[in-house]
Chains A and B, each alone.
Chain A
Amino acid sequence: MYDQVLDLYGDRGNIAALRYRCEERGIDFDIDSCDIGDGKIDFSQYNLIFIGGGADYEQSMVAKDLRSRKMGIVDALENGAFALLICGGYQLFGQYYIDSSGNKISGLGVFDYYTKAAEAGKRCIGNVLIEAELEADGLGATKILGFENHGGQTYGVENPFGRVLYGNGNHFEAGLEGIMTDSLIGTYLHGPLLPKNPILTDFIIKKGLRIKELEPLDNSLENRAFNSIYKALL
């Protein structure tokens, strides 16, 4: 959603990763975009919803339009769709966001968490390594690597996406990163997030399609990319 506006930090790479990993397996991948002021959209027709991040004023432009679509989005998520929300998209699913000029932008209020810009000029910036429980079947935690760059400090998240092993997370030295429920992941991780984290990408595809298994792909390049940064962080 809002790919013309919320397009910071290469987040389109996430779409490229989802597309590639679907198409390699013969799964059709059709993408529609929803822009500000577009007509009513039937979100229940979709498997995945993606919202990226933008600068403060772009975010305030999006917020109003997004609020008008709340019912449709919430219904779709309750009925099996899965959402990936990065940075601005993540913030907007909470109660509100107070931006760096002090403007309060109301969110969708799907969750209780809220976000405030850090004091002037301060941002959480740098590589982030987290550990997330992607599978409920006790297979153990998956390490996920990304890059954070956010002034917004998010508080009050009940179900974090992962534990921070390196970097900040939801706010300075938060120790916890993002939000994860059965129907969505919200996170500050750019990078873009998905290309270097193929297990996570496949997890999202499985969630969106409501299936348990996917045909394996060769992840050697992804793993080497992951390890080269992982080693440097330790």
Chain B
Amino acid sequence: MRDMIAIIICKFARFIINILGKNGGSKPGDLALKISPNILSRLSYPKIFIMVTGTNGKTSTTNMISRILSASGKKVVTNSMGDNLLIGAATSILLSSNLRGKLNADAIVLEMDEMVLAKHLNDFPVTDLLITNFFRDQLDRAGEMATVITKIGDAISLYDGRLFVCADDPNSYNIDHSNRLTFGLGCGRFSVAPEGYKEVSEGKFCPKCHERLIYEYYQYSHLGGFKCECGYKRIDPDLEAIVDSSDEFLITKAFYGIEEGYKFKTRSMGLYHVYNEISAIAVTAFHGVNPCVMEEVLSNFELGIGRMETIKMSNGRTALLNLVKNPTGVNEVIKYIVNLPKNDNKNHLNQTVLLVLGDAVVDGTDVSWIWDADFEALKALDLTRFICTGKRGYDMALRLKYGQIGEAIVLEDLGAAVREFATTGGFVLSTYSNLFDVRDELGGVN
């Protein structure tokens, strides 16, 4: 009875929030869990239950998997907005449940925050767990990365579903499981030789013996062909792709219905995007989806809110909006911006970079990570202006000052910062807590 009331409240809350035209997010699930704290363990779930965790690429990969499964004819429940704490998952789940607690779906695909997953993995009948990668992220909430991995490893030791991990990431590849499938990228045109490579932060040391890892090549950050003197090394994964052109990649050996040599069209978003694609392919291929269906979805895949999102402002100027939350994410976005084709780049001359830095819990209350990101790479652009805002806008301005990158205008009021930005347009990098407000402001520019 309590569960039924919780479900009704959840649905009613969403209904009210919709009427008010607000971005309700995870409030309905929050209310439901307050009424019936253990409701999620008593629902009847569909046969396919996929969870996606890891540092980077969770939201995009979750969306790819759920859209591919939908395109293959399955009814899918997902938390596609990046609401990856328990209350966000609860919102998605309960809204698609009937009043008796049965989900009306063939598959459920949930993005999960790493620490939430470590605590709750075995509360759900998960059939497939995908770990995208482990990077330095939000250390203040989780302690050091090693602690996060240990906690997730502990949860996985009690887990009896399938595990998908990236063979190129020494941090997550070290998590063993009797029912494990691996994916990764082979050395290709965009791989980088180790000499002079500066991007690695986390993952320099062997997680088994703590000696320094040796790399034959890097893909990005610490992902690549690693090995250690102790014998721990990347082994060719079950599903491997090689990227030799910016718009397609090739599968190197057969994997669940995908033939060796199959070429997938991709959108040129960089290798980190291909990692999301290959992991989504691994999971959906296992569930019998035809590669043509995957390709159709992936080649038309629009990244989510704040992922390479182009916003046309009403004054005719454009903004390229990106959510950033850790050094690797910033590095990849900046690499993309700096490497835009010359023609495009010319359009971006005399433009502005708007940096929005918050320190809410979802952002990570410790903003020191901005010092580990390579903002210096922005010097390659002929930008004339930096504007900083958000609660930690001044920290960002100091990062630019002491990094000798540029002098920033700091505007404490978000609306004022966006209006100033809009006079030229350009690039926007924002942490999560401000993302939706920034987006609304960009949409409302006159």
Contact = CB atoms under 8 A, between A and B. Distances in A.
Interface of A: 4, 7-13, 16-17, 19-20, 55-58, 61, 100, 121, 123, 125-127, 147, 149, 151, 190-192, 195-196, 221-222, 224-225, 228-229, 232
Contacts of B370: 10
Nearest to B371: A10
Contacts of B277: none
Interface string B182-201: 00000000000000000001
Interface stretch (B169-177, B239-247, B329-337, B399-407): B399-407
A113 B311 CA distance: 56
Contact of B412 (A127, A228, A229): A228
Contacts of B399: 13, 195
A211 to B, nearest CB: 22
B394 interface: yes
Nearest to B403: A16
B43 interface: no
B140 A125 contact: yes
B394 A192 contact: no
Interface of B: 139-140, 143-147, 201, 204-205, 210, 365-372, 391, 393-395, 397-399, 401-404, 410, 412
A129 to B, nearest CB: 15
A13 B146 contact: no
Contact of A8 (B144, B402, B403): B144
A139 B371 CA distance: 32
Nearest to B394: A225
Contacts, number: 89
B116 to A, nearest CB: 15
Contacts of A61: 205, 210
Contact of A13 (B139, B143, B371): B371
Contacts of A9: 139, 366, 368-369
B398 A196 contact: yes
Contacts of B391: 228, 232
A101 to B, nearest CB: 10
A20 B402 contact: yes
A20 B410 CA distance: 20
Given A9-B366, A196-B395, A228-B391, 5 more contacts: A11-B371, A13-B368, A13-B402, A190-B366, A225-B398
Contact of B366 (A121, A147, A228, A229): A147
A126 B412 CA distance: 22
Given A20-B401, A55-B144, A149 B139 contact: yes
Given A10-B370, A149-B139, A221 B144 contact: no
Contacts of A125: 140, 365-366
Given A7-B201, A12-B372, A195 B402 contact: yes
Contacts of B403: 16
B174 to A, nearest CB: 13
Contacts of A121: 143
Given A8-B144, A55-B146, A17 B402 contact: yes
B398 A195 contact: yes
B398 A222 contact: yes
Contact of A221 (B139, B201, B205, B394): B394
Nearest to A53: B144
Nearest to A100: B147
Contacts of A191: 368
Contacts of B140: 125-126, 147, 149
B371 A8 contact: no
Contacts of B393: 228
Given A9-B366, A16-B403, A147-B366, A221 B145 contact: no
A11 B369 CA distance: 9
A28 B367 CA distance: 30
Nearest to A225: B394
Given A10-B368, A225-B394, A225-B397, A123 B143 contact: yes
Nearest to B372: A10
Given A7-B201, A20-B404, A221 B398 contact: yes
Contacts of B365: 125-127, 147
A220 to B, nearest CB: 11
18 contacts: A4-B204, A11-B368, A13-B399, A16-B371, A17-B402, A55-B145, A61-B205, A147-B366, A149-B139, A149-B140, A151-B143, A190-B368, A192-B371, A195-B395, A221-B401, A225-B398, A228-B412, A232-B391
Contacts of B398: 195-196, 221-222, 225
Nearest to A232: B391
A56 B402 contact: no
B410 A224 contact: yes
**Most A C-beta atoms less than 10 A away, residue of B204, B366, B391, B404:** B366
B354 to A, nearest CB: 17
Contact of A12 (B146, B371, B397): B371
Contacts of B401: 20, 195, 221
Contacts of B144: 8, 55-56
Nearest to A13: B371
